[in-house]
Amino acid sequence: MIGPSGSGKSTFLRCINHLEKIDAGRLSVDGELVGYQQRGDKLYELGDDAVCKKRSEIGMVFQHFNLFPHMTALENLVEAPIRVKRESRAVAVERGRRLLERVGLGEKMHAYPKQLSGGQQQRVAIARALAMQPKLMLFDEPTSALDPELVGEVLDVMRGLAEDGMTMVVVTHEMGFAREVSDSLVFMDGGVVVEKGKPRDVLANPQHERTRSFLSKVL
């Protein structure tokens, strides 16, 4: 998903995991409504426990890493599986170790966030989201808070997830990444989808004047 600031991209992501409530339409993940239950023609909001259960199936990575500063990288990964999913510590730790290895931080598992670079912290944040074994991963401009030289290491991890078949919805300003990795590209402006299609088609030959205007400033 691409578009100017304030166009509704982040709000849409937050609606997917019910951090924001929808007031019209239907939104489902893997065929199931998120945050609501339908009875007849009406939607009824689920209780907090049911919402949290659904939300635990959807990983989210924010612009700012939001790691627990008093916990090591590994402790950040095992906290939610143990507390939310009631996994044993041994199972959670083993998966946490594997995930940190996967994002190239196996040697940093006992480091605290303040001892890590921004790119490393964001990779820990991705691993933490994966530790819940989600059906879907949401990324809200995951590289926007990083120094330019650190962007590549985070995009490499995301590229690997895509190659492994993880379903992802990514809000990004990295047009090259969007062109190479995504299956579908959506341009939003003013809270609506202005244009969507194959990434190379939208970026190389946008059909809508607003899309052309936006891309002329960022490409």
**Burial zone of 75 (CB within 10 Å; 0-12 exposed, 13-18 middle, 19+ buried):** middle
Q: Annotate the chain with DSSP letters as a single string.
A: -B--TTSSHHHHHHHHTTSS--SSS--EETTEESSEEEETTEEEEPPHHHHHHHHTTEEEE-SS----TTS-HHHHHHHHHHHTS---HHHHHHHHHHHHHHTT-GGGTT--GGGS-HHHHHHHHHHHHHTT--SEEEEESTTTTS-HHHHHHHHHHHHHHHHTT-EEEEE-S-HHHHHHH-S-EEEEETTEEEEEE-HHHHHHS--SHHHHHHHHHH-
Between the two ends of the chain, the Cα-to-Cα distance in Å is: 15
pLDDT for 189 equals 97
pLDDT for 162 equals 93
pLDDT truncated to tens, each residue of the chain (219 aa)?
999 999 999 999 999 999 999 888 889 999 999 899 989 988 889 999 889 888 899 999 998 889 999 999 999 999 999 999 999 999 999 999 999 999 999 999 999 999 999 999 999 999 999 999 999 999 999 999 899 989 999 999 999 999 999 999 999 999 999 999 999 999 999 999 999 999 999 999 999 999 999 999 998
pLDDT for 42 equals 87
Do 134 and 61 touch, CB atoms closer than 8 A?
Answer: no
pLDDT for 41 equals 86
| Cβ-Cβ contacts under 8 Å for 188 (sequence gap 6 or more) | 1, 2, 3, 7, 8, 9, 12, 194
How far, CA to CA in Å, does 149 sit from each of 37, 80, 155, 168, 175? 45, 31, 11, 24, 16
pLDDT for 122 equals 96
Distance CA 124, CA 35 (A): 27
| Cβ-Cβ contacts under 8 Å for 200 (sequence gap 6 or more) | 179
